[in-house]
Amino acid sequence: MSPSMSDLTAIAPLLLVAGTALVVVLVDALAKRNRILGPVLTLAGLAAAMTFALPALGDAPASAAFGGMIRTGGFTSFFTLVFCVSGLLSVLLSMSYIETMVPGKGEYYALILLAVSGMILMAAAGDLVVFFLGLELMSLSFYILAGFARGRMTSNEAALKYFLLGAFATGFLLYGIALVYGATGSTALAGFPSRTGGLQQPLLLLAGLALLMIGLMFKVGAVPFHMWVPDVYEGAPTTVSAFMSTGGKAAAFSGFLIIFTPALLITQPALRDVVAAVAAISMVAGNVIAVTQTSVKRMLAYSSIAHAGYILAGVVAANPAGSNGVLFYLMSYTLMNAGAFGVVSLLENPDGSMLTFDECAGLSRRSPLVAALTAVFMFSLAGVPPFAGFFGKYYVFAGTVEAGFTWLAIVGVLMSVVSAYYYLRLVVLMYFNDQPGGQAVAVRPFGLAAVIVAAIALIGFGIFPSILLGLTARCF
């Protein structure tokens, strides 16, 4: 069966991104001296994919291509948007950053594009096998990207650790798919929850779903499958961490939403309780451990574990408010976390040592702009209005309370207070500490532009959340 034209237009963003990846590799091979062409092409490819994804935002989610293997519509488009934003920000941040670390490696941008293709495939999956395909494409790119700073021990450690543990998690996921197939006789996601009713071997299905869940929880970095997160996010080049922690996380959550749909979670209360427990533990552990960190990147890594918990709370809700909340949260989290890592990449020592809290002391004197941007990201991560991070939390907790998981919302808000402590510590040092000295702020106009755009978007979406909500409303 050859793909029809409508099939191809359905996956236009995917084709664009993957195609650009190939072009970037070729350009790198043919025009070795030209360093600006690769990133510019990458940006163009991602921007083009975004424009192709936009019109489909209002579409009903049911339409399918490639015989049901690919789903199109609002859900896929929204996630494509998130992935492209994450990719765009990371590429802008990487320009001249990654060059100082490993000169003359054009495949970096191709790998980012390939990872984005994988993510798009995950969010567009209409079948577990397609989902797995996307996941592997993304993960393999991540493994290489994490170890991209070859000269650094930490980067190598990050790559190896991520690869070994990631391969293990992939095994779980694949085995889960096999068991689900064994129990239901199909890997198609369409009509998945309804097929699970009245099965002869519910245990087999439950085991398969549990394994699938473990694999996904590993990818989102939820406790107790979070061990890799701090080391990998800290060791990987900062711009890669920005990319993995936003786009990668969002892609894994798209898996949660298409596999563990509200309908499935409601028919499987045991699974739902497990997710709720994992969400709660992630919020508590991530936030509490983040308090004790001295390295800013490591703090952000632990905080990302906590944020995985908040987003999982939206999955637990299994209602429209919760699911829409997850989408809103992922977009705002992409902006604020890429922004936060972006600021770190601007402040870092070029020698590769980790940025500590103390090095940020007195930053508001040295660079008022970067300090103000950091403050925006920190307040947004802490969930203080009027930034988008607050509204994401509000929406997710609205879903959880409505679903009767009020205790989870209470755990969440209490842990937000803990998180405010460590986010504010950075603000305290930057603004309330007048000691001179410290690292000079790197001058990288593209990186700075990315961070500024992210901050403006956070304020805009915070004050007018309806801009985003209008887009998420048609996704389910």
Partner 1 sequence: MEQHILSLILFTPLAGALVVALLGRDASRLIKTVGLLFSLVALGLSVWLFLVFDGSRGDMQCIEIIPWIPALNVSYHVGIDGISLLLIVLTTFLTPIALLASWESVTVRLKGYVALMLLLEAGTLGVFMALDLFLFYVFWEFMLIPMYFIIGIWGGQERIYAAVKFFLYTMAGSLLMLVAIIWLGSYAASLPGGAFTTDLLRLYAIAPGIPMGIQIWMFLAFTFSFAIKVPIFPLHTWLPDAHVQAPTAGSVMLAGVLLKMGTYGLIRFCLPLFPYATFRFLPYLAGLGIVGIIYGAFVSMVQPDIKKLVAYSSVSHLGFVVLGIFALTEEGLQGSVIQMINHGLSTGALFLLVGMIYDRRHTRLIKDFGGLAKPMPVYAAFFMIVMLSSIGLPGLNGFVGEFLILLGSFRSSFLGSPWYAIVASTGVILAAVYLLWSYQRIFFGKTEHPEDQALPDLSVREIAVLVPIVLFIVWIGVYPGTFLGKSAASTKQLIHRIEETRRGSFAGASLEPGHEILPGERR
| Contact residues: partner 1, CB under 8 A | 321, 324, 379, 384-386, 390, 394-395, 397-398, 401-404, 406, 409-410, 413-414, 416-417, 420-421, 424, 428, 431-433, 465-466, 469-470, 473
To the nearest whole angstrom, how small is the minimum distance from the Cβ of residue 470 to partner 1?
8
To the nearest whole angstrom, how small is the minimum distance from the Cβ of residue 465 to partner 1?
5
Q: Are 476 and 61 in contact (CB under 8 A)?
A: yes
The number of residues in the chain equals 476
Distances in whole angstroms, Cα of residue 147 to Cα of each of 153, 232, 234, 237: 9, 9, 11, 8
Q: Are 451 and 343 in contact (CB under 8 A)?
A: yes
What are the start-end ranges of the H helices in 318-405?
320-347, 363-366, 368-382, 388-402
To the nearest whole angstrom, how small is the minimum distance from the Cβ of residue 246 to partner 1?
24
Handedness of CA 24, 27, 32, 34 (dihedral sign): negative
Complex with partner 1: residue 118 or 389, whichever CB lies closer: 389
Complex with partner 1: residue 105 or 365, whichever CB lies closer: 365
The alpha carbon torsion through 72, 73, 77, 79 (nearest 10 deg) reads -80
Complex with partner 1: residue 227 or 273, whichever CB lies closer: 273
User: How many angstroms separate the CA atoms of 103 and 372, rounded?
Assistant: 31
To the nearest whole angstrom, how small is the minimum distance from the Cβ of residue 319 to partner 1?
8
User: How many angstroms separate the CA atoms of 101 and 349, rounded?
Assistant: 11
User: How many angstroms separate the CA atoms of 45 and 55, rounded?
Assistant: 17
To the nearest whole angstrom, how small is the minimum distance from the Cβ of residue 123 to partner 1?
22
What are the start-end ranges of the H helices in 1-64?
5-10, 12-30, 37-53
Structure tokens at 399: 């879903």
Q: Buried b vs exposed e over 396-411: b needs ≥16 C-beta within 10 Å?
A: bbbbbbebebeebbeb
Complex with partner 1: residue 93 or 418, whichever CB lies closer: 418
To the nearest whole angstrom, how small is the minimum distance from the Cβ of residue 30 to partner 1?
48
User: How many angstroms separate the CA atoms of 432 and 440, rounded?
Assistant: 18
User: How many angstroms separate the CA atoms of 184 and 194, rounded?
Assistant: 10
Q: Are 24 and 42 in contact (CB under 8 A)?
A: yes
To the nearest whole angstrom, how small is the minimum distance from the Cβ of residue 312 to partner 1?
17
Complex with partner 1: residue 366 or 444, whichever CB lies closer: 366
User: How many angstroms separate the CA atoms of 81 and 78, rounded?
Assistant: 5
To the nearest whole angstrom, how small is the minimum distance from the Cβ of residue 395 to partner 1?
7
Complex with partner 1: residue 4 or 407, whichever CB lies closer: 407
To the nearest whole angstrom, how small is the minimum distance from the Cβ of residue 139 to partner 1?
34
Complex with partner 1: residue 257 or 378, whichever CB lies closer: 378
Complex with partner 1: residue 84 or 370, whichever CB lies closer: 370
Complex with partner 1: residue 186 or 433, whichever CB lies closer: 433
